[in-house]
Chains A and B, each alone.
Chain A
Amino acid sequence: MTPSSSLDTAGAAPHGEHHDHHPNYLVDGTTIKSWLLTVDHKRIGLMFLFWVLLFFLVGGIFALLIRIELLTPGPTIMDAMTYNRTFTLHGLVMIFLFMIPAIPAVFGNFMLPLMLGAKDVAFPRLNLASLYIYLAGAVIALWGMLNGGLDTGWTFYTPYSTHTTTTVAPVLFGAFIIGFSSIATGINFIVTCHTMRAPGITWFKMPLFVWAIYATSCIQVLATPVIGLLLVLVTVENLFSFGMFDPARGGDPVLFQHLFWFYSHPAVYIMVLPAFGVMSEVVSTFSRKNIFGYRAVAYSSLGIAFVGFFAWGHHMFVSGQSTFDAGVFGVLTMLVGVFTAIKVFNWIGTVYKGAVDFKTPFAYFCGFLFFTVFGGMTGIALGTVSLDVPWHDTYFVVAHFHFIMVGATIMAFLAALHYWFPKMFGRTYHEGWGLVSAALIILGFNATFIPQFLLGNNGMPRRYYDYPERFQALNVASTAGASLLAFGFIIIALYLAYALVYGKAAGKNPWRSKGYEWQSESPPPTHNFVGPQPTFPEEPHFYVDPKKAEVPDAV
């Protein structure tokens, strides 16, 4: 056995016998009730996966409708009001129902306890509750969007949102409820990291994915209440004509923007930090190398989480904010970029002198690197105040946040799905199809969003139903890219569904990874490990040949 683990000290019993006594979590209870009322973090993670994918599909269909509408100037397939509702629905579903929960609620839930050598998260019942809270919020918000149809965009800027005739209240209420799910998940993870680490796992022996989830959870717990408060205030203003934000009643519309971005700017890191965490695991496993600068990567997650709270004003450079404020927020924005740069350089350092196996997750890592650097640096460009003046609220911003937020997160989500697929389902997928679809997706993504950077340069504002003739060529290019992207997703759905049923048995550790989670069975038994609590004497991501290395004991 691997010297890094004492998992199998449980006894001399061969594997087969363990299986008889400890069925894996997928088959331990097969009734509907055993799934719906489960408190097993792995089953909850899987149920989140189902819903998150469903909402991704819904958001994706609306994205395609938007792109088709923009194929030509003027009306193409829908009228202006329908278009305005469509982009609102797309944004809300993708952000609140897909991107924010995607990695933490699915892979965080599934892997965190395994990576800490724990039997479950700290509060299993709260964990189940957060799934149902999320679903309740989703149902209410979607119901509101389909009955009445919100047209404010996902940012809900006042005074438009307090004046529009469409139904704002149920959607806000739905988003408010989803926030509680986010907070509950965050608290659960934080407490789990503090109290459930197996003996031997010190803070600086936690896998980097755990670090990323920990930093994300801190943001979730601190920032989400702010948007909750804001949503309540807007609802009250809407229903009872309070004058918080409406200047016609003495309110301040810019106050809304401050409160909104005070949550929503950190929220972009809620979406992207877990992605960074996944990639740290992937790059280490597929280069078979210890992480270059483990502590720098871990600390930079905390750094991003911290300065992420002080950069919100960069969304408001042309909102009438003072020039001094613009300067302060501009500088703080630069710091976010520097923390991200530390991660990027250390990931590349990890490949250096590694032993690289170019499997599907590694292909996504390559795409991820490009999206993160380009998306991140265009973010710096936007933080360069004078350049943001023409770019703000144009397609350049749309392209920027899709590159970093969607590009990086999707790369990580797909990498995670492929990397942990054998662990979660005990089966393997077809590697050839994996690589082909990864190539398609990366290509499609660039083809969709690079033209949008150019559109923004050329001056096309975002949220435009109709546009002057001169923007058409680039819009056609972008729509063509989007269809390529959709095609890639269809292929993935097909071969993964096939693998789920017919895939070859994966075995315990098909990637020969040293990640802690691979020391359990695939799929893991209900309480994660058989026998006494495991201990982890080695650092995570430790691939050094014991004969070759004189291992320094500190980083």
Chain B
Amino acid sequence: MLDPACLFGGRGIVNESRRWMHHLGRPLLVPLLSVFTALVAGAGVIAIAGGDPVAAYAGLAEGAFGSTRALSETAVWTTPYLLAGLGIAFAFQGGLFNIGAEGQLALGAVAAAWAGYGLPLLLGAALPAVVHVPLTLVAGASAGALWAAIPGWLKARTGGHEVINTIMLNYIALNAVSYLLNGPLKDPAPGNVIARTPMIAEGARMGVLLEGFRVHWGFPLALALSVLLVWVLRSTTLGFTIRTAGASPDAARCAGMNVPRAVVLSMAISGGLVGLGGAIEVSALNHRHELGFSQGYGFDAIAVALLGRAHPMGVALSALLFGAMRNGATRMQYLTQIPADVISVIQALILLFVAAEVLIRRLYRLRDTTAPVALSQGWGS
């Protein structure tokens, strides 16, 4: 049998995953303790609110993993978290903080919806699914990539900080999408008062994995992309350039790398992944774009990326955790009357403890083996 390593020039996925397995214990320890601590603190919140934490967590687990349907729904919830989280993590690898995922998601979804219903109208003929589905996804990914490239270009060109610019672009995108959905792209069906696009064509719809369940091909696609990203980051010139430019722009410049190009590219790839997440939601799930579909995925995905330590495999694990929590929350609320909102408190606590790694290390008396990860250095960088 062909060794997959040969396909990827020796230093590929196999070696990477071996290295990952070897160090599995250490990099996972602090995030696991952070999640554990957040769950304990969350139990406190539930108890103060008058609920039974044990029943709540049992309900949460049952809702997330208790049946085939639960598993299918968890995969459905995980997909956008995973893609948006991968996008933000990719920017982190390039030393950039992309807070603009919410806007990139919305624009990706709108572009995909337009490609889904508008292209056949424009061409005057239905497209075969084998062409139309990829086109829809590419439209969404391109919209996200272009939108994220703006702050990348501004950073490279004028030094404008990407944090403040991506935040501004979020609000611009959300307002622009609201305009589009209330105006030019609004579903013209008689009696429609909701700000949403028409349904996309049959040919633009991504199929389900399992008949009778909602889990769709976007889930394995997202998982495959996270494996691909490990390879891109570790074993390609592009990945090496982006990581070097992120770790030390000066060193990268001295080595003759095109740092501005790396900055624009890492933002574009980051936004492309996030936009793809929005496109998959449209193509596989909602079959149209409606205002307010995102429910804050773009912001939660920051927590997903940080919890996963910006490593694609870590992001996959933390996206699964977040997807499971979101999915299980409804069942928890149904069984115990504890509001599902408590999950967002727990998610914020997870992020708090992940960020305050020093706190976790002190709490559990771990030795300080590594310096805390610094991802940004104020406005100056």
Partners in one complex: no
Give residues in A with beta carbon < 8 Å to B: none
